[in-house]
Structure 1
């Protein structure tokens, strides 16, 4: 049985993780640029989905589709794909491939036009290497206890954090000079995701012999986890001079409404601590959040300005994602003055992102099938 993986740049890390999981089960996912062979697998976001929908529907092979969009809209995707992986794929995808090879029943966690039975497992990260022949980032944690209204992560992976063991992380990264990590919050390693365990973070960092990049894309941190202790650890063990964290809004009211779980004061504290410890902060913002007033928008602009005085900012337009509490919301139009200020900061090299074309934000991100 010949199984292939449809090459989609934004899904490269998903490919690396699922190649490793399928290789363990005896299946090799060769990358292709069109559906071919017996089976072709796809991982789709809510932005990329429309570019591949017709291709999948017309494919002359069995199609298996996963990713954040397929997980959130599995009934819709099952109308044009043969099989839909809902949620995590490391265990479900090889199980589905085995059932197709043997002609047995569709396993739990897979949707078809005929219906869907929820998955009967949660992935243990140590049971699957983060990558093998296909190189990817090293995923050290999965799941998020926070329920940010715009985010698919806790809906895909749950709100209970799971961590890969230090032994497995060290083994996976031993062949490489530079190491970057996939995690919803690097400083939450080894913890419940709410109460940091910096002792465990230090055990991880001190064990690795690589040039470590920690707290940078694709493993950013939360502002309330930026402390003297966490920054001292990065300074002692890591190579990065930047720290990437999310502020999202400059309005405490909006932060409460989107269930962000931190305050504007936490962001200011993180900015001050980065400056004191010699790190350049890189701060994420979402503009056009639903329910914003002019005062809320101005507060966000003010916080963007504060961030760019000591570092840089990534600014993006809100986009409603299926499966999230804000799925049915619409972006709030930006004031002309806001657009002007953001444009001026961009010309000065202080901010990046896309506050007018929200789709750009999602072509550089990936989630596991």
Structure 2
């Protein structure tokens, strides 16, 4: 039985991770640009799902869909895909493929069909699976997030408890190539509970890496309250990157509290100042157009963006109500004309990237960087 992987730009690291997990059990995922026999697998986010829904429904082969959108909306996706992998796929996908080949799929925990779904009862232990094999990917060092930001799918898919790959396993794969890059919901939370940093463990990790290290950059950003003299010293001493990427998300404390972000606007601005003073360029995420954002809230965000732009760079995008999140089903509010003008001016001046109007830029341009 041939198993194919539908090439989707935003799912390249998922291909590396799941390709490695399948390879360990004897399955090779062949990259394809259209569905092919016998089985074709898809990883879908909430933007790409619109592009591939009809293709999957009309495919002349067995189709398997997973990813954040499929996890949040498994009933919807199961209406046009044969099987839906809900949540983590390292264990579930190879087990499903074995069932398909044997013609006896049955009820596999973590796999949804039109007939229903039984959830898994455990989480993936990262050390049990390689981060990549023949398809190079970033090394995922941590999974899960203790925070519950209203717009974010991460805790919905991976849980609120943080899990970490061991230093020996991270080193084993990171040192295979000339650069070490990582995936994490918060790189500065490595080795910790996600709330109280363990910089000693991060230093132990960085000391064991032998090539160029990029730590705290996309797709392994950090949180602003974890940026301090100690964490910045680790970056300047051990790492190659001269930028640090973190999320402020709003300049309004009222919005941040309602989102359950766990930090203030002042902390985010202070983090940018600390980076600048340490000779590191802060690259700071902001979201505009939250459904409960007042004009005053939006102006506070614009003011914070302007303040941060004096110290570094801004990455901005329009709010998207992602399924499976507390804000699913809401609608983005309109932007003030002054907000659009400031974003445009900062972009023209080379201080801002992203898009405050086009949702797809968030998922398709940035993932290719």
What residue is the counterpart of 2:110 in the other structure?
Answer: 109
Q: How many residues align?
A: 366
Instruction: Work out which structure has the larger RCO, using CA pairs closer than 8 Å and 6 or more positions apart in sequence.
Output: 1
The residue number in structure 2 matching 1:294 is 295
After TM superposition, list the pairs within 5 Å mapping 1:246-325 onto structure 2: 246-325=247-326
In structure 2, relative to structure 1, the CA distance for the partners of 1:360 and 1:148 (3 Å cut) is same
Q: What is the rounded CA distance, in whole Å, between the counterparts of 1:181 and 1:314 in structure 2?
A: 19
Secondary structure, aligned partner of 1:324: coil
Offset at residue 103 of structure 1 (A)? 2.4
> Normalising by the residue count of structure 1, what TM-score does the alignment of the two structures yield?
0.98
Q: Give the corresponding residue for 2:62.
A: 62
How many Å apart are 1:365 and its aligned residue? Answer: 6.5
Contact 1:96 1:106 in 2 (8 A): no
For residues 178 and 112 of structure 1, what CA distance do their matches in structure 2 show?
A: 40
1-structure distance, mates of 2:94, 2:33? 21
Distance, in Å, in 2 between the alignment partners of 1:63 and 1:365 is 27
Q: Distance in 1 between matches of 2:281 and 2:43?
A: 34
Structure 2, unpaired ranges of 5+: none
Q: Which residue of 2 aligns with 1:44?
A: 44
- Runs of 4+ residues over 4 Å off in structure 1: none
CA-CA distance at 1:287 after TM superposition: 0.3
Residues in 2 aligned to 1:342 and 1:81: alpha-carbon distance in whole angstroms: 40
Aligned pair 1:170/2:164, yes or no?
no
Q: Does the 8 Å CA contact 1:289/1:331 hold for their aligned counterparts?
A: yes
- SS of the equivalent of 1:310 reads coil
Question: How far does residue 328 in structure 1 lie from its aligned partner after superposition?
Answer: 1.2
Q: Calculate the TM-score normalised by the size of structure 2.
A: 0.98
**Do residues 348 (structure 1) and 349 (structure 2) align?**
yes
Aligned residue for 2:310, secondary structure, equals helix
Measured after TM superposition, the shift of residue 120 of structure 1 is: 2.8
1:161/1:193 contact within 8 Å kept: yes
C-alpha deviation, 1:106, in angstroms: 3.4
Residue 11 of structure 1 corresponds to: 11
Contact 2:276–2:311 (Cα < 8 Å) also in 1: yes
Does structure 1 retain, via aligned residues, the 8 Å contact 2:174–2:181? Answer: no
Judge conservation of contact 1:214–1:238 (CA < 8 Å) in 2: yes
1:313-333 CA distances to partner (integer Å, 9 max, x unpaired)?
Answer: 001000100000000111110
SS of equivalent to 2:220: coil
* Counterparts of 1:281 and 1:185, CA distance in 2: 15
How far did residue 276 of structure 1 move?
1.8
RMSD of equivalent CA atoms: 0.9
Gaps of 5+ in 1: none
Whether the 8 Å CA contact 1:11–1:365 is kept in 2: the answer is no
- 1:100, distance to aligned residue in structure 2 (A): 1.1
Q: What do the CA deviations read for 1:155-211 (whole angstroms, capped 9, x no partner)?
A: 000000000000001111122111110000000000000000000010110111110
Alignment of 1:1-369 (within 5 A): 1-104=1-104, 105-364=106-365
